Structure 1
């Protein structure tokens, strides 16, 4: 018992997790002695030595054998000790020391009491921060790291060379990343790596009833934190995500695809199946039309038309007019049409009227409730039957569902006519025609066809030619379609409506690109994906570097394709520069190699002080690499979190100005980033911000809309504009929305947008007009610019050129930043202010501090006697300062959180606020 008390060994909760390797019992060698001491009224034992008056001291203290977990190659040794002030001894100035040494020795077996100094290697010299005088004991705590352990166990030893030192306790531990579930993928507990493996890659597995297109992976850092998850799992069809698990849809709900969406309530007129339903079938007597989504409601058949009336105005010409009232019950549908059937009766025999009788406008597909019938013979009886139809009528009357039949097709013949000053004479233009529904939804599109403008000198610049556009999936006929006031470019894609002889219409989204500045037919960016051989694009836009000119130093991150290193680049005739080196991990496919190098083909075309600079690539050797300039301060979001509250608004606006300038440059090159976020902005030592990470970026085709439509892929919901989420159409305007989120991140010092709301909750909130509130101390002018970037109508959002000009004006007039936007702590604190994440009140001060990411101050609160939430509620700003919270950002976060705790009305969700 006394030996255990001498070496007080306990679990140290540091990082994510740390484990005790062994209970330490020390072997006493030479002059170290066991001593009983009293401190603060408590007795405890120490190992001590105090031969300060004798020369050439060499006193050793060694632990027993410490067994090592095979994967723990890096351990931490925490020492608590006391060192006596040499000045408190008389006549020992030449022999007294105030330090001692820590040594270690590895072994595959316990050697007992055998001790050989030559087998130990020095870890560190231990020096106290505070020296003990005659009247007051001062305890020091120091932690050292023992790296690259490889054998079954090891010993620690302490060497005294003439100090008066007492060793109170030794704690030996290693760090792990706790077993966790992230994005529905479970990862096992993993021992953190050492300096030679700063990031340890760990493979995971999707939780039960979840699937992923690629193997889930994640990295464990040396500090015991999980970072860079790859391969998101999604709940299978019939299941939804509930607290890191996939749970069956409840009865009456369904989910038709493997996705991150929630189960949906069965729509109207459908059967509500048991739990885990994949779809909701229609009730008897109700149907879905072929064009209805399988997740939509089912419809009934329309009732019969009413009040059929026939009137004749020209008996001599055999013409009459039929009219009727709509059916009382439409079956819940709006696509009601009518058909008219004519029967001619002679005596008791009736037969169809045949083709002789004419109908205006038609006999079927009528949307109006009237029709004119002509070419009727005199002295005959005619019977007219009017039927009401809807999208489900044919479906309901046939044994084979219409949705299982192939859609019919037809060709469209159209002539294009255009006169305008922005078309070049004698020039070929490519066109693609796309159908639009009455609600503006896109339909089928044709293949590209070529037209030519009239030669120089002829009247106007009229498009010549008549083409048949094919490839549509709807039945419709259009001829002599006239395009007017359409902005045309080479390679443009035009939209048409389904009305005959109608003018093309321009949606509100097109006006974003309608200024003269945006209508330049110049294309300065070349999409590397258009090259048949992607390697040619790399050679054209990037400089080849020989690997011998590159020196890797340290892993600083992990990308999609491999590790990222800090290193140096020394090219012949050039000064050595620090660089970041992206590598391609072994076992890659050729497609992965091309995708990896395509980012270099993109970056190589940019040259701007606020865009990350490409130094070159390595492609002609086994290990491909991308070399860029090195940004010392890393990603902007992490940098801001580490310096919370340290920068004034003026400096933060300067950072935004740099980002906006870089985005203006990309926008002017007709380029859309698609993944603009603070995590993709890098910061150097001069606090210059540069746009990076072009892995998700795509070119803006120079069509009138200026959009890129994706066929799939992941979208960063919290940073993405609503139209890009809904229709996967990305523009410079959607990048402006993302820039508004980046502005919020900057002013909130790296806070996560929308806090802990799920992606589904974020989309719902945005569609209900919720916008992020102003961060603490955010200037009103800056917040108003954010709100402009988040306008629902993208045509009304500012352009990057406008944003750069406005931020420039703010920087030139610092007084404009003094008016602060209204701040509501009930919304802006991450968690509801009076409760934990599960809605229950905070059970402890440490739980509350963890919820606002201020857990580093737990000991400060405890030492100050603030140990209950009631004590917290009584604190004032001065009290917070007095317990040791000095950083302005941390002080404000804690103070505003306490303010929110006092407001009992703030327990509702963000939406209620």
Structure 2
């Protein structure tokens, strides 16, 4: 309740301060009520009576110096002139008159000569040079202000009432002026005269302070400064500006970019910048309140731009100051070893405490010990790790290259982004491992078909031998799998039977313990005994030689066949890889339609990278797409710089087909890598909503960007934009991709004015229920008629040549600063006109070479149109020769049948109001400024200048030029004498 009361009180204070500062202030130039001596004004009359200075009483019965006159004859004029009144820089002043007037019926004067009015004049002068005869006592050289009539008349026996009139004088240009009163048959008393002007009071608004300002014209520009603890961003900021009206009222809102400095927030309705309280912070300049310090951080003073971490907590170098402070993780849990031979597999569980971070990794430290419990030293070279020794993402590592019968100490450590900052070092869990000793055969007893082998028992005592494994192979046949055999034994002796006589065998033995198998011992060769009378040996040798010869012949024939097939394979132009993405021998990348996949999701997985939703932060909705909202957000992938992204979302309740159509754009974009093609960052399909992330283009769609900056770019800048679009389309055409919907609305512009082709979602062509009027029904789908080539409209023949036609329309859109092609013509009228060989005329100030290039793109025969490579070359030539862009298209130039501009010429009659005129020239944003400045009719625009436009807040040179040229084209004649603005 107390907090609510304080908020209400603060609001009342803000409202009261706003009202007080909004009320115009007055500065008095003259007030006869305050005079204590005779006024001694100058009077003139050809006959009696004259104006007479007497003491009188005002409406509050205070004694004042007054002038009065009561004429019997109204045929002569009686003048009264004040002393020189200095204007003090004011261009408009106000005169407040307090007077009484006697009713004619109460006088004895003839009614025809009696009047109940008087006239007020003024005369300007740079010096106090008025005399009894100068200036002349006549209407000229004075300037008449008004004929003043009384609202209340005095009559016999009636109530005494006073008349108060306030009149405006101006414009004033000289040092001072005289007031003159002319009576012609009136009986009146001038009780007081107060002359004053209005000025705008000192004002604080939008974190800007503006000084007291005297309006010297219709509107007076005031230059202010930022409030304390506020500043303007940028290297060359413009000071805050605001306009003071002639009535002493501030006009509209100030033009300012003042924002509170880091550590300060706007308060009291943006009247001041207040320091963030203790425990709060504000990182940068700009709007927004102070925020509570993130977890495990604090501030010790007011006005902090960041919060420091509490003891034991840290921020990584890549963490922003507004992220919580974190700490290193605890030790990994329960490491489990598996020893096999001289290799080791370690697995463990994640720490109980991750330290508040998600960038958890592991590392393994290896130390070799002289004996269990003895001193250890770092492992020597030759020990290998998979996947690595440090930076392990999972919880498993394989280690090999260990020495047999050796004790090792392995420490598994958990680390995160702040572990290097901790003085205590990473926490780890240690486990000791002893590898198994190798076993070698030492004794043998041989016969013709058997070998009896014996080996010594390993001397290590801390492992119990469970079993031995013996591996034996025929030495002549090498280590082929079918020539090697294994045998297990529970004792250190084994008999090998059924062996070949007179044959060498290679034998190895290893032991198995609870820790797994040890390494095989050294290979030892033993030989079985031959028969005493082996007469078949020569025949055996001969057979072996014959078999070897046949085997060699077969190998030679197979090699020849392989070479022939391989040579024909490389000569076949139709051969390609399994995806068809590269033509054999050419190396040309070809676009792959995702709808040709049996499962379109496979195309998405192949061409688009899946991003974890935790890496994306949505900040604001910036538009709406066909499938859902379009947002701006930030993408932060560990190890990479954070950057802004545009996020297309798939709204809930979608069907499987809508999801496929939505993600198809990602599988298309993912195949393109070009500086003038919108870049796909990745997709999010593992959570809701489904998202497509692309690079963020700060200036949005090209058509709306050009309309917003009408006239602000030079021809060479516009050609640079067109060159970028053509380069992107050249890349797409070389990949055999047809865009089908190339238009300025589908070109995006970044902060460096780089244009990039976008909108690769082809689903709109497959839907008949589209509500977009740009796309018109035709057999098979929707077509953007105004941008589409004739053969594509008639026969749905979409090729790179039809994209060239669309590019010509984009050129026309760019050079006309976002004008709608074919203006208000219907789609059917456009189709008919194109069939009759009508083409769009050159936009205003369009270089001749550019319009000719447009006409080349609009050739009826698609084979006659240039390729995008030709267009890029032509634009490069224009950029290298800027003088060629100064040759503009003249009226009558171009094709034999140019499409005439359907818009009727502007005339004062066709533009009934200033608002109609501004809307006709696309400058309707300034309508309110014109009306507030007093331009309420077309005739008032006759003498407007560049300075007048600046006072109206029109600072863009292109907009000034467009408005002034339009006024000149209108041919407005000013028929009102004098300055119509006043």
Per the shorter chain, which TM-score range? 0.3 to 0.5
Larger radius of gyration: 2
What TM-score, normalized by structure 1, do the two folds share? Answer: 0.45
